[in-house]
Structure 1
């Protein structure tokens, strides 16, 4: 079973490595976590800072904005199709 670590734990682990001068291997051994996992956490934290590790079902703000815009586009395209069909329906009525 895959162990799930929360955002706070990940940040504290990264700070152990950065602030206490411990090696990734040493911290990995102490916590029973893969060294590769810790390197991935560190890279993600370095790239995204406090926005890293958004959690299950959560998105980074820029990803959420992108998803919201894509939904808005789909909604507008659907509305456009409905209006086109209505226009054709009423155009037939006038003949």
Structure 2
């Protein structure tokens, strides 16, 4: 048992520097056309590569696309009340519909 622990610690200590070197490679080669050095920014729980541009540190990261809809314009008060009731009813019944769909499928 003691031998197994020694072997596993040896393997762990041998492989740990390779993981650290891979992170450094990723940060250094994020922007190949840039002449300036790239340094990491530590934002919990991730580490992002960063570039210093005109004295400011700018993090290099990818953001997911999102859709922003324009506000709804109703023709009259009756339409707005009907839409509000529809939203209320959907918010009440949607969790039950999801649960039933999970049971059926």
TM over 0.5: no
TM-score by length of 2: 0.28
For the pair shown, the structure with the greater C-alpha radius of gyration is 2
TM-score by length of 1: 0.30
Highest relative contact order (Cα 8 Å, sep 6+), 1 or 2? 1
Write 1 or 2 for the structure with the bigger share of strand: 2
